[in-house]
Structure 1
Amino acid sequence: MKFLFLFFFTLYFLSFWINAQQTLPLPAQTLAEEFVYMDLNDALREPQKVYKLSLIGKKLNQFPSEILKLKNLQELNLSNNQLTQVPTSIINLKNLESINLSNNKFKRLVVPFDSLKFLKHLDLSRNLLDTLETSFRKAVPLENFSLSHNQFKEIPNDWQGLTAMKKLDFSNNQLVVLTDFIENWHQLEDLYIQNNQLKELPKNINKAKKIKRIFAQKNKLVNLPTNFGELNELEELYLSENQLMGLCDNFGNLIHLKTLDLHQNQLQKLPENWQKDGQLEKINLSFNQLVTIPLKLGEWKNIFKAELQQNKLTEYNLAITEWGKLQYLDMRFNQITKIPPQIQENQQLKILFLAGNQITNIPLEINKWLEINILDLSDNQMTNFPLSLLTLKTLKTLNLKNNQISTLPNNMKQMEKLNSLDLDNNRLLNIPDDLWEMPMLSRLYLNQNQLQELPQSLEKSTYLSEIVVRKNKIKKVNINLAAIKKLNKFDIAENPLSTLEKQRLTKAYPTLLIIL
């Protein structure tokens, strides 16, 4: 009898001692200060003190069983190895909060991750998985789950227990349908499903009330659920490179939306109903077939970046009357013949792209552009250099290539901040003698004009570092390039220079990059 008592007492003591080796997980703030072990042998010297282990890129092809001795381990990173399997016994590391198995060679994983009661972060991205043999029927604490860059065609039908999940990354797979379980994921904030084969979003997506960011670009979406406008917390929406022909009628209810990217779809019009006081800051509608911007969208006052290029917009249907905070506007390749008044009046504008339109002149009213830095007017129909541009004291980059400009004004030095001037493919016969007086001009592009010579006054330039005059009619370089102190590139290729002239230039300026 005494022997049995001693036997059971010993078992009890051993059990207590073993459990004592595993403590409760450290709180986040304490864990953040713990040392990260990067060598397994070092970690095994005092296994009970190891909370973080990182064996990134160790060329492992088998899971090191010694890891199972680290009973207090909370963070395990085995990414960038060659693992093909993980033992189910990993669930004996009961304190695990974060597991990173990304960029390995897993085709199949039979691990009951749902048994890890503290697991919050699980990264299985960049493997060869097409399914995951783990049930998440019961509620689990998992918050961040990444399965990107695998081969999933569908989300397993037993994941309704991911009720704590805040971020799900299923990007770069082969998904053709997104599960209706999304209505169970009440805490979901970030959904990454870009680069799949999705043709539609779940009809009950409106039940994911806390969702803030949706990345669904590069799919095959044709339309949106009719209740999509009920996602009241949505702040960022990326739907570019789909096949959308329209948006749901209540789309304008997304007043908390700050970033909207719809570029490269097949949109011909936008909904007319947009609620007041929208918080939208960045909008990309480029590469669609839009002919108008709705009046009520034009009343959203916080937009500072708008990309509207490659549509069918004209100055008459551009209702952006309240975009007074606009700093960046891209309207390349539309059907604009003159700069609309609402753009002329914008004093915050810093970057403006109007290339590929039908503009013939620039009004004097642009003198209100007090902060403009970059202006692109290339590929238009201007025959004269717009004198109104001389009023832009802050302009640094000006692109006027592919117009029909034949002369330049003599007082271009008024553009005192201009650093880069592109006049390629115009009809210039000469350039003014006082061009050198432009105090900040560094790059001058004059390709494909009718120039026969360069003015000697360029020798006085203090900032010019690059001169490009390809495809002109220059037979001889009659200026001293060495006098242009900062010049490091001179491109005069495809001009009718004689062989002797080419040899002279090469010999005269051995340290200068001359392209002949």
Structure 2
Amino acid sequence: MAAARRARAGDPRAGFRQPAAELGPAVPQGLIRAARKSGQLNLAGRNLTEVPLHVWRINLDTPEEAHQNLSFGAADRWWEQTDLTKLILASNKLQCLSEDVKLLPALTVLDVHDNQLRSLPSALGQLENLQKLNLSHNKLESIPEELLQLSRLKSLLLQHNELSCLPDGFGQLVNLEELDLSNNHLTDIPTSFALLINLVRLNLASNQLKNLPADISTMKSLRQLDCTKNYLETVPSKLATMASLEQLYLRKNKLRALPEFPSCRLLKELHAGENQIEVLNSENLKHLNSLSVLELRDNKIKSIPDEITLLQKLERLDLANNDISRLPYTLGNLPQLKFLALEGNPLRTIRRDLLQKGTQELLKYLRSKIQDDVPNQNEEPPVTAMTLPSELRVNMHAITTLKLLDYRITELKESLCDINLGFNKISSVSLEFCMLHKLTHLDIRNNSLTSLPEEMAALRRLQVINLAFNRFKVFPSVLYQLLALETIVLSNNQVGSIDPLQLKKMDNLGTLDLQNNDLLQVPPELGNCESLRTLLLEGNPFRTPRAAILAKGTAAVLEYLRSRIPT
């Protein structure tokens, strides 16, 4: 009554209660109630052009139910609400964020990817508890200085914006572990990056960088560095001192030589395809004892040194579309090599039909020739295996308005192994797509898919599939048949159930991400899926396991589920 009297008297403190009509169809009242209890609110894909004021004030205003209920059960105690810690506003039509974002000081996760933001509010710097900030796929042209005050930030995603420069003080974000700046217009990197000593993953791909600062080598924790598709002509020699570096991507630059890596003894993957490298010598290779992937396709390499045999852990070697005329027979002695790509080279000593038999047959042939004499160069060469690179080049990453995945891809089926078609408008997957038998990685996140064709069961080599932010209401049954799958990302859909007995048969499945779906219950039998190392279930409406159990990690969740299996 006192509140009513204040309202009638024009008390400025009145009006905390927002009328139900303001909620509108985009933000159901039930979501608001659930968010007060869980501390998480998912408003992704609701065509919002602005964030309603009551969302920012969710922890300040008196809830609607407080004015309706006279008695409360344990589940209806609105005064025991939890501060909002996770807010997802992805895939909407937001052009700006209100300064009222400061009214959510407990936020640890803010996801605003795939909107139309051109600027950020300075109040963002007041979210002192923020640990993950996803601003990718917007239209940001600059970063406010206030953002650098987020001292607890661990993950900052800024890919696919319109940034041309970064604040000089970027190094103040000393707790950053993941930073993605790919697909912007950056021409240089601030020297303060040297202060990001906790950074584990740094993505600078698809920018306009002509060089990297030498101080980048002080990032002692960096394990993954992606500089794909820039204008790099050289790489600073100090890069070789990054002792923790495991994955280095230098594809699509202007490199004429590989850097030497005397100290990068943990380097496992080196991708340097589509450059202008002419020489591969022993100094480039002799210290890479841990290398499992070496990708050098589409360069101008003329020969492979015998020292290639020092790479005893090498599993994938891609030398396609170079100028290699012969191979060292000792290549056949690499014990772990499972994939060797040689198409598009003018090889004179290996028949075309032998190349088509696959890697193991080719290695067997090379081993058999180790003791043979060097072939007589005056003899007429046998039928050559030279193949020209296809004139048809389909850049899957450049497609921005795709509505139907329907390509004539027969020319690609023997070579394509990694496809990224995220952030389009794909509503169905064509059967032609199911012919890509060598596909290992497939990213179709942020589209309009509701199902997958059963013919995808032919993709028997598929290891990773990302289906996040689509419209699946059921778990795609064809995934149960893809036994090579190691990672399934199906977060932010509307999946209501899973089949634990089918999942248990997937012995290679290590990561299953089902966050922010509509799972009303988690079947206890899921605890028997012993191959799972990462199981993500947050943001679903089930009551058990409780949030406290989920917070303990995958092993604890699986153990809890096993304990509830009926005997």
Q: TM-score, normalised by structure 2?
A: 0.53
Q: In percent, how many aligned pairs have the same letter?
A: 24
CA offsets, 1:398-417, max 9 Å, x none? x9999xxxxxxxxxxxxxxx
Post-superposition offset of 1:84: 1.3
Q: Aligned residue for 2:270? A: 260
Q: Aligned residue for 2:218? A: 207
Q: Aligned residue for 2:383? A: 382
What is the letter of the counterpart of residue 163 of structure 2?
F
C-alpha separation between the residues in 2 aligned to 1:212 and 1:400?
A: 37
What is the letter of the counterpart of residue 53 of structure 1?
L
Q: Aligned residue for 1:57? A: 45
3-state secondary structure, aligned to 1:227? helix
Query: Within the alignment, does 1:227 sit opposite 2:238 as a pair?
Result: yes
Contact (CA 8 Å) 1:327, 1:351: kept in 2 or not?
A: no
What is the letter of the counterpart of residue 263 of structure 1?
G
- Is the radius of gyration larger for structure 1 or structure 2? 1
C-alpha separation between the residues in 2 aligned to 1:306 and 1:48?
A: 53
What is the letter of the counterpart of residue 256 of structure 1?
L
Identify, as 1 or 2, the structure richer in helix: 2
Q: Aligned residue for 2:131? A: 120
Going from structure 1 to structure 2, the CA distance change for 1:113 and 1:252 (only over 3 Å counts) comes to same
3-state secondary structure, aligned to 2:317? strand
C-alpha separation between the residues in 2 aligned to 1:244 and 1:329?
A: 23
CA offsets, 1:305-339, max 9 Å, x none? 11112222233667647522211111123232224
Query: Within the alignment, does 1:70 sit opposite 2:80 as a pair?
Result: no
Going from structure 1 to structure 2, the CA distance change for 1:351 and 1:161 (only over 3 Å counts) comes to farther
C-alpha separation between the residues in 2 aligned to 1:168 and 1:212?
A: 12
What is the letter of the counterpart of residue 253 of structure 1?
S
Equivalent positions of 1:9-408 (< 5 A) are 39-45=27-33, 48-71=36-59, 72-138=83-149, 140-248=151-259, 250-273=260-283, 274-276=285-287, 278-315=289-326, 320=331, 322-339=333-350, 349-350=359-360, 365=368, 381-382=382-383
Post-superposition offset of 1:211: 0.7
3-state secondary structure, aligned to 2:125? helix
What is the letter of the counterpart of residue 91 of structure 2?
N
Post-superposition offset of 1:224: 0.2
3-state secondary structure, aligned to 1:76? strand
3-state secondary structure, aligned to 2:54? helix
Can you give the 5+ residue segments of structure 2 that lack an aligned partner in the other structure? 1-12, 17-25, 60-82, 370-380, 389-567
CA offsets, 1:2-35, max 9 Å, x none? xxxxxxxxxxxx9xxx9xxxxxxxxxxxxxxxxx
3-state secondary structure, aligned to 1:117? coil
Post-superposition offset of 1:237: 1.1
Length, aligned pairs only: 327
Going from structure 1 to structure 2, the CA distance change for 1:400 and 1:256 (only over 3 Å counts) comes to closer
Q: Aligned residue for 1:391? A: none
What is the letter of the counterpart of residue 270 of structure 1?
L
CA offsets, 1:62-91, max 9 Å, x none? 111111233300110011111111122212
C-alpha separation between the residues in 1 aligned to 2:257 and 2:94?
A: 45
What is the letter of the counterpart of residue 63 of structure 1?
V
Contact (CA 8 Å) 2:273, 2:295: kept in 1 or not?
A: yes
CA offsets, 1:433-458, max 9 Å, x none? xxxxxxxxxxxxxxxxxxxxxxxxxx
Going from structure 1 to structure 2, the CA distance change for 1:276 and 1:80 (only over 3 Å counts) comes to closer
Contact (CA 8 Å) 2:249, 2:272: kept in 1 or not?
A: yes
Going from structure 1 to structure 2, the CA distance change for 1:89 and 1:401 (only over 3 Å counts) comes to closer
3-state secondary structure, aligned to 1:168? strand
Contact (CA 8 Å) 2:265, 2:288: kept in 1 or not?
A: yes
3-state secondary structure, aligned to 2:146? coil
Can you give the 5+ residue segments of structure 1 that lack an aligned partner in the other structure? 1-13, 19-37, 354-361, 367-379, 384-398, 403-516
